[in-house]
Amino acid sequence: MASLNKHEVEHLVHHWIEHNEGHTKSFRERAGQIEELNADAALKVREAADLMELCTKKLVEAKELL
């Protein structure tokens, strides 16, 4: 696999951050709908959103180091 230059890495990390933010928003919106069907399942989706936010935070930290 070819190595990446700094610009490519910055672009990739930025893309991952935006992608994760989109998923987090979707998880939270859908959790409300899932709540009507199963509260425990909705809780798990909200927990997944929390974990996605943590992943995004780590990516932001990585971007700042670049």
Distance CA 18, CA 12 (A): 10
Predicted confidence at residue 60, as pLDDT, reads 98
Measure the CA–CA gap between 15 and 55, rounded to whole angstroms: 13
Residue 7 has pLDDT above 90, yes or no: yes
What pLDDT was estimated at residue 2? 87
Q: What average pLDDT does this structure show over 59-64?
A: 97
pLDDT tens digits for range 17-57: 999 999 999 999 999 999 999 999 999 999 999 999 999 99
Contacts 24+ apart (CB under 8 A), 8-13: 9/66, 10/63, 10/66, 13/59, 13/62, 13/63, 13/66
